[in-house]
Amino acid sequence: MCLSFFEKQIDSFEKKLEMYRLKQKDRVGFWDSFTLEEAYMEKMDDVILYTYHFIQGLPKQEQLRDRIIQSGKIFKEDVETIASMKSLNLSQLTWIVEKECKSKLKSSVLRGSLMGVIHPLYGTINLPIEIVLYVQTIQTIGLTFGHEMNNPYEMMLALNILNAAMMPKSYQFEEWTVLKKKLTDRDLLNLAQEKVITGKGPIIQILYQVLSLFCSRVVRRKGRKHTPLLGIGISGITTYYHMKKVIEFSLKFYQYRFICEKRLRKGML
């Protein structure tokens, strides 16, 4: 069977992840030995879960649903619900996701640049905001692909995607493989009942943000002429990079899921 355009893109993405992992394979990275106590991880799980449900209850979420459906109507007039978004083709769904995420990328640059000029103590406020925006981004992509993000299965899957998307690229291949297996097994009951294990992703992301704030602060202290702009640049680019990484990973996964479900309906899996 000849691969479609999107299948080729996903295959290329997967090979890049594997390449990053192979480069890391022969040396032990810091994150390989990085561990946290289970009690701390459980607290992090509670925070992420609360964040997920909090976002679901926001009035903006209903506005987002309406906006996605209206975007779907551009391509098919009979799109009336989130579930009916599945009737669109992959190219159309990808266009809607990219349109929705474009503003998130722009705001990440502005927000990151702002963090580069204020005191690091205030900059730490950005840390929970980043996690909230990542969760919201994954929910947006899931909704666009026709999945109701408030049921247990979709919630657990989204949290798995969140953890994987925030991991360094050299560690994403294993997470990608696990997520694929959860789809091919189609063990929806087990995933819905799975104990939430956030993993290292959110912790790593927080540490990266702290490091970015620290670097911006150090650069500003070295001099006064051009260093403020350099600090702004470091913080803005870092925030943009991490948001783009989350969007790319999440979009590729939901594209892969769309293709798998389409093949399943045709009896090809």
What is the tens place of the pLDDT at every residue in 49-101? 888 888 988 889 999 999 999 999 999 999 999 999 999 999 999 999 999 99
Average the pLDDT over 104-123 and give the result.
73
End-to-end CA separation in angstroms for the chain: 13
pLDDT of 123 strictly over 80: no
> Do the Cβ atoms of 238 and 245 come closer than 8 Å?
no
* 16-45 pLDDT tens trace: 999 988 877 655 555 555 555 666 667 777
d(CA 223, CA 231): 11
> Do the Cβ atoms of 164 and 125 come closer than 8 Å?
no
pLDDT of 233 strictly over 50: yes
Q: What is the pLDDT of residue 131?
A: 85
Q: What is the pLDDT of residue 259?
A: 94
Least confident window among 46-60, 76-90, 197-211, 229-243: 197-211
Q: What percent of the chain has pLDDT over 90?
A: 37
Average the pLDDT over 88-117 and give the result.
87
Residue 109 binned pLDDT confidence (cut-offs 50, 70, 90): confident
pLDDT of 227 strictly over 70: no
Q: Best-predicted range by mean pLDDT among 16-25, 98-107, 126-135, 228-237?
A: 98-107
Within 8 A by CB and 6+ apart from 175, the residues are 160, 163, 164, 167, 199
Question: Exposure pattern of 155-186 as b/e (b: 16+ CB <10 Å)?
Answer: bbbbbbbbbbbbbbbbbbbebbeebeebbeee
Residue 122 binned pLDDT confidence (cut-offs 50, 70, 90): low
* Amino acid at the residue 242: H
Average the pLDDT over 128-149 and give the result.
92
**Mean pLDDT of all residues in the chain?**
80
Average the pLDDT over 223-245 and give the result.
74
> Do the Cβ atoms of 146 and 244 come closer than 8 Å?
no
Residue 236 binned pLDDT confidence (cut-offs 50, 70, 90): confident
Task: Write down how long the chain is.
Answer: 269
d(CA 15, CA 256): 14
Within 8 A by CB and 6+ apart from 200, the residues are 31, 34, 36, 163, 167, 171
Tokens 């950005």 label which residue? 126
Residue 1 binned pLDDT confidence (cut-offs 50, 70, 90): very low
> Do the Cβ atoms of 170 and 158 come closer than 8 Å?
no
